[in-house]
Structure 1
Amino acid sequence: MFLTADIQEAGYSEDSIILKDIRFAISRGELVGLIGPNGAGKSTTIKAILGILNYMKGEIEAREYSYIPERPIFYERITLWEHIDFLLSTLETDKKEFYERANGLLKTFQLSHVIHHFPESFSKGMQQKVMLILALLKKPDVYIIDEPFIGLDPRAVKELLQMLHKEKENGAGILMSTHVLDTAEKICDRFILISNGKLVSSGTMDDIRKDSGLLNGSLFDCFDVLTTGENNDG
């Protein structure tokens, strides 16, 4: 397994528990959707995996990963190209191949013209593209992606989906948190459904349908049935 999470309970303090009994694993070459509405606990689950919560009881095992946050984070007063150069300095990789890959990604995401500008001044969509480029350049075993479609234009979404498919074919494991259920249903191999900080169902689309009792239901309809009565304030 590339990523194994056994979260018995977690939160921002021992007196403020948000997650309970969430367990799952990500294998080589699969895209797993972490699904739930806003406030369900998806981002908190990712923070537990990253080890940045104040309180977490359980165990996380992960191979080398790239994390793409919902809200992009950059070093101040450092240009896009300087961010790329800094990333190279942290990796053991062929310099020429790295720069060729970087230039290719910059062209794909239409950012070649701003390589000497500061990402902090970019639009949200452009910033999201930069985070994607940096993550893809690292070529990790596992991608952990939090709400990747927010701020991306339709062309960028298409490019992202193509890149994720390629990375999956190359053997990477991908955990993608999203509330865009129609897209998730089309691209994910398995699903982890969370509501109110609890795991309500997991598995393939057939497993989710079986749990919900909707044998021909969409992911949206199945999730609606499985979470009826839940209070999503986590």
Structure 2
Amino acid sequence: MANALEISNLSGGYIWNRPVIHDLDFTIAQGEMIGLIGLNGAGKSTTIKHILGLLAPQKGSVRVMGLATGDNTSEYRSSFAYVPEAPELYEELTIREHLRMSAIAYGLTEEQFEQRSASLAEQFDMTDKLDAFPQTLSKGMRQKVMIMNAFLVEPPLYVIDEPFLGLDPLGIRSLLDLMARRKKEGASFLISSHILSTLETYCDRYVVLHRGKIAAKGTLDELRQSAGEAPDTTLDDLFYTIVKGGAS
């Protein structure tokens, strides 16, 4: 069984021969949730852009469900859904039309579209906004639309960047419940967030980036052992120790 995500010896960036990330190696198994954490500028966004196929590796490879970007672009991109930090919507399309466009792109049936979109709209308290245009929505509502689009298509892998910014308590709870349900169904997650207490509760393993390199990776217990910390040390405290040079 192929890993949901496999990053091997990956180096890359925005200018050729001037990599931002260096020799990254980590995997995400099917049904696993990984937290990608690091300071601003650590290389998290660059890593995500390589996974999305927006940047080509200068060295190494990225595979999703066994596929590399160059193997079959449409099949590769249909194997994951991405929720960006900042909502990006088409101002001329209603929320329902955004959802329908995603359904068409991922090959959903009309029945799947109707059932899933109605359920997601109810969960995120957006039923009365389905025929609204993005410019009439708050930032938090626009973020809910991005999340609804990703969970509508039910891919094997979700790549989620700072998902909790701007969400109200209902939106956060709905997202966490959806993540837990999809994970139980076998979906995998790569989540980048600065809210480490939430990642500690939900993630199976962690990848800590620092200055473009992996400073530490593993389960919470493995991070504690590598940092020489007590068994009850929180992820927040571990992260501080790691990036301050307490672990390599």
Structure-1-length-normalised TM-score: 0.93
CA deviations 1:100-134 (Å, max 9, x no partner) are: 11011101111111111112442221111001100
Name the structure 2 match of 1:201: 216
Name the structure 1 match of 2:68: none
Structure-2 change in CA distance of 1:120 and 1:61 (3 Å): farther
Q: What is the Cα deviation at residue 187 of structure 1? A: 0.7
| Counterpart mapping for 1:56-71 below 5 A | 56-63=58-65, 64-71=79-86
Name the structure 2 match of 1:90: 105
Cα distance in 2 between the residues matched to 1:55 and 1:95: 37
| Corresponding pairs, count | 230
Name the structure 2 match of 1:34: 36
2:130 aligned with 1:115 = yes
Name the structure 2 match of 1:218: 234
Q: What is the Cα deviation at residue 200 of structure 1? A: 0.6
Deviates more, 1:173-182 or 1:10-19: 10-19
Mapped contact 2:100–2:113 kept (Cα < 8 A): no
Name the structure 1 match of 2:72: none
Name the structure 2 match of 1:131: 146
2:96 aligned with 1:81 = yes
Mapped contact 2:10–2:57 kept (Cα < 8 A): no
Mapped contact 1:5–1:23 kept (Cα < 8 A): yes
Cα distance in 1 between the residues matched to 2:43 and 2:194: 11
Cα distance in 1 between the residues matched to 2:39 and 2:198: 14
Cα distance in 2 between the residues matched to 1:120 and 1:59: 39
Q: What is the Cα deviation at residue 39 of structure 1? A: 2.0
Mapped contact 1:74–1:120 kept (Cα < 8 A): no
Deviates more, 1:55-64 or 1:124-133: 55-64
Point out where structure 1 has 5 or more consecutive residues left out of the alignment. Answer: none
CA deviations 1:62-116 (Å, max 9, x no partner) are: 1300011111112231111111121222233331232111011101111111111
Deviates more, 1:149-158 or 1:138-147: 149-158
One-letter amino acid matched to 1:60 = V
Name the structure 2 match of 1:17: 19
Deviates more, 1:110-119 or 1:189-198: 110-119
Q: What is the Cα deviation at residue 55 of structure 1? A: 5.6
One-letter amino acid matched to 2:28 = I
One-letter amino acid matched to 1:221 = D
Q: What is the Cα deviation at residue 7 of structure 1? A: 4.4
Mapped contact 1:7–1:56 kept (Cα < 8 A): no
Query: What SS class does the counterpart of residue 92 from structure 1 fall into?
Result: coil
Name the structure 1 match of 2:76: none
One-letter amino acid matched to 1:45 = T
Point out where structure 2 has 5 or more consecutive residues left out of the alignment. Answer: 66-78
Runs of 4+ in 1 over 4 A off after TM superposition: none
Name the structure 1 match of 2:178: 163
Q: Percent identity?
A: 39
Cα distance in 2 between the residues matched to 1:95 and 1:55: 37
Query: What SS class does the counterpart of residue 208 from structure 1 fall into?
Result: helix
Mapped contact 1:12–1:54 kept (Cα < 8 A): no
Query: What SS class does the counterpart of residue 52 from structure 1 fall into?
Result: coil
Deviates more, 1:14-23 or 1:151-160: 14-23
Mapped contact 1:7–1:19 kept (Cα < 8 A): no
Tell me how large the CA RMSD over aligned residues is: 1.6
